[in-house]
C-alpha cells in the first residue's frame, strides 16, 4: 500500500471506536446489535470528518445573560448513502447533521467480476454548493465507492469525504488514484482481500449482516 498523507486517509483510532469495531467484527454479533454498532461507528467517522467545518461567532441569550457562542457557517452539508450498506450509517449521521440534504447511489458489485454495477442515482440538485459525506461501510476493491464518487462529481460536487468503517489497502489505493482529492475516514485499514473480494479480516458482508439477508 502506498504511504498516504493525512489528506488522503484519516484513521479513527479512538478507543471507543476501536472497541465497537471489535464487537461489529464478531461473527456472533446479532443483526440488531450489528445495526446499532454500525450507527455508532458512523457517528465517530462523521465526528472526525466534520472536525474542520467553518465556524462563526454568535450571541445567544441564555436564561441568565448573553453568551458568545459558535455556530457552523460556510458551506452546507450533503450526505450520500451508497446502497445498500450505506443505509446502515445514514440515520446516525443525520442525527449529527440533521439539516443535511440526502442523496442515494445504488451500486452493487458483480460477484464474478467484482466490477461495480450502477442501478440508482438520486442526488440533491444543489450538491455543488455543499460539503458532501459519502457513506459506505466497506471499501474493498474500491470500485463501488469510486463509481459513486464519480456520479457525485458529475453533479458538480468538489468537496467530498468518504466514510468507510473498514478499508482494504486496494480500496484506498483505488480512491487515491481515481479521486486524489477525496479523504477517506475509516476505523481500520485491514490486511487485504480474499479471492471473492471480501475484506480480511473484515466483518463479513455488511449489507447482509445489516438486513439479515444471508
Ligand atoms: C459491498 C459494500 C460496498 C462494496 C465494496 O456492497 O457495501 O458497497 O461491496 O466493495 P468494492 O470496494 O470492491 O466495490 P455489495 O456489492 O455487497 O452491495 P450491497 O451493499 O447492496 O449488499
Per-residue model confidence as pLDDT tens digits over 60-118: 999 999 999 999 997 899 999 999 999 999 999 999 999 999 999 999 888 889 899 99
Q: How many domains in the chain?
A: 1
Supply the CATH number for residue 163's domain.
Answer: 3.40.50.2020
Q: What is the mean pLDDT of residues 171-198?
A: 97
47 lines ligand 1 (CB under 6 A): no
- Is 214 a domain residue? no
Q: Do the domain assignments include residue 76?
A: yes
1 falls in which pLDDT band (50, 70, 90)? low
Ligand 1 centre distance from Cα of residue 61 (Å): 47
Report if residue 129 sits inside a domain: yes
The answer to the question of residue 1 being in a domain is no
C-alpha to C-alpha distance for 32 and 147, rounded to whole angstroms: 30
Alpha-carbon distance 35 to 37, whole Å?
6
pLDDT, position 75: 80
The answer to the question of residue 69 being in a domain is yes
Ligand 1 contacts CB of residue 202 (under 6 A):
no
- pLDDT on residue 166: 98
Which residue has 449521521 as its cell numbers? 93
Please state the atom number of ligand 1 nearest to the C-alpha of residue 205. Answer: 17
pLDDT of residue 90: 98
210 located within any domain: no
Left (φ > 0), alpha (ψ -120 to 50) or beta: where does 197 sit? left
Per-residue pLDDT, 109 = 87
For ligand 1, atom 7: residue with the closest CA: 85
Going from the Cα of 2 to the center of ligand 1, the distance in angstroms, rounded, reads: 23
> Domain for residue 3, yes or no?
no
Q: Is the C-beta atom of 108 inside 6 A of ligand 1?
A: yes
**What spacing in Å lies between the alpha carbon of 82 and ligand 1's midpoint?**
9
Residue 74 DSSP one-character state: S
Query: Residue 186's domain spans which residues?
Result: 9-203
Q: Write phi, then psi, for 138 (nearest 5 degrees).
A: -115, 125
Of residues 91, 173, 178, 208, which has the active-site annotation?
Answer: 208
Q: Is 211 within a domain?
A: no
Segment 33-40 mean pLDDT: 98
* 144 CB within 6 A, ligand 1: yes
Catalytic residue among 110, 113, 126, 213: 113
Active site residue 126: no
113 is an active site residue = yes
Ligand 1 centre distance from Cα of residue 6 (Å):
25
Amino acid at each position: 500500500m502506498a504511504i498516504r498523507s493525512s489528506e488522503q486517509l484519516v484513521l479513527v483510532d479512538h478507543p471507543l471506536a476501536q472497541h465497537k469495531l471489535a464487537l461489529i467484527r464478531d461473527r456472533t454479533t446479532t443483526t440488531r446489535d450489528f445495526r446499532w454498532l454500525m450507527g455508532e461507528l458512523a457517528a465517530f467517522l462523521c465526528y472526525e470528518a466534520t472536525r474542520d467545518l467553518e465556524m462563526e461567532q454568535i450571541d445567544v441569550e441564555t436564561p441568565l445573560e448573553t453568551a458568545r457562542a459558535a455556530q457552523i457557517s460556510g458551506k452546507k452539508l450533503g450526505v450520500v448513502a451508497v446502497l445498500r450498506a450505506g443505509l446502515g450509517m445514514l440515520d446516525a449521521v443525520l442525527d449529527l447533521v440533521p439539516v443535511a440534504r440526502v442523496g442515494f447511489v445504488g451500486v452493487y458489485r458483480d460477484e464474478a467480476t467484482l466490477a461495480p454495477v450502477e442501478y440508482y442515482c438520486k442526488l440533491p440538485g444543489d450538491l455543488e454548493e455543499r460539503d458532501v459525506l459519502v457513506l459506505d461501510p466497506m471499501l474493498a476493491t474500491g470500485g463501488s465507492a469510486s463509481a459513486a464518487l464519480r456520479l457525485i462529481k458529475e453533479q458538480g460536487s468538489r468537496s467530498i469525504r468518504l466514510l468507510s468503517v473498514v478499508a482494504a489497502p486496494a480500496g484506498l489505493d483505488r480512491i487515491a488514484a481515481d479521486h486524489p482529492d477525496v479523504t477517506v475516514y475509516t476505523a481500520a485499514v485491514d490486511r487485504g482481500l480474499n479471492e471473492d473480494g471480501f475484506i480480511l479480516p473484515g466483518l463479513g458482508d455488511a449489507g447482509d449482516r445489516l438486513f439479515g439477508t444471508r
